[in-house]
Amino acid sequence: MPYHWSEQQDGTVRLRLWPYRSLPKSGFVAFIGATAAFLALPLLAVLGSPILWALLPFLAATVWGIWFALARSYRSGEIIEELELGRDRIHLSHRAPGKPAQDWQANPYWITPHLSAHPVPDYLTLTGGPRVVELGAFLTPEERRRLCGELAARLRMLR
């Protein structure tokens, strides 16, 4: 599960959400190395000929393109959402790389989690405060359904 509940000593409950990573950093390095090695194998046949210099820029551009795409994917996956539940307030913080943090606060007594079918299946939102906010848009539909149930139960315990 790409989220974790924790209880603080002051009685508040924290929920931390993050996107799932299927390729760890060590796998990233291994994949780029293996790609470069497999692309270099055909170059052995043309060593010492002018064809090597014609193929080399394209193969280097391919490795760079794969590296750039995976690095960009890692940066976009550094989103962190933190939800803090207390008796007197609920605070949601959404931090994405390169963007200012977005914060939302409300009274937990009036907050209800909702699942809707728009814009994605089982879209999880929190309503009851000054505006409707999304929660865990990067989670799978099954994870959002489970999180909605857990969040509803925690909010009932606060009341």
The residues of the chain scoring below 50 in pLDDT are none
Find residue 123's DSSP bridge partners.
116
Q: Are 132 and 115 in contact (CB under 8 A)?
A: no
* Topology adopted by domain 3-19+80-158: PH-domain like (2.30.29)
Mean pLDDT (the chain) is 92
Give the integer Cα–Cα distance in Å for 32 and 25: 11
Q: Are 15 and 85 in contact (CB under 8 A)?
A: yes
pLDDT value at position 159?
76
pLDDT value at position 65?
97
Strands 90-95 and 133-134: unpaired
pLDDT value at position 75?
84
Burial of 89 (0-12, 13-18, 19+ CB in 10 A): middle
* pTM above threshold 0.85: no
Give the integer Cα–Cα distance in Å for 8 and 108: 17
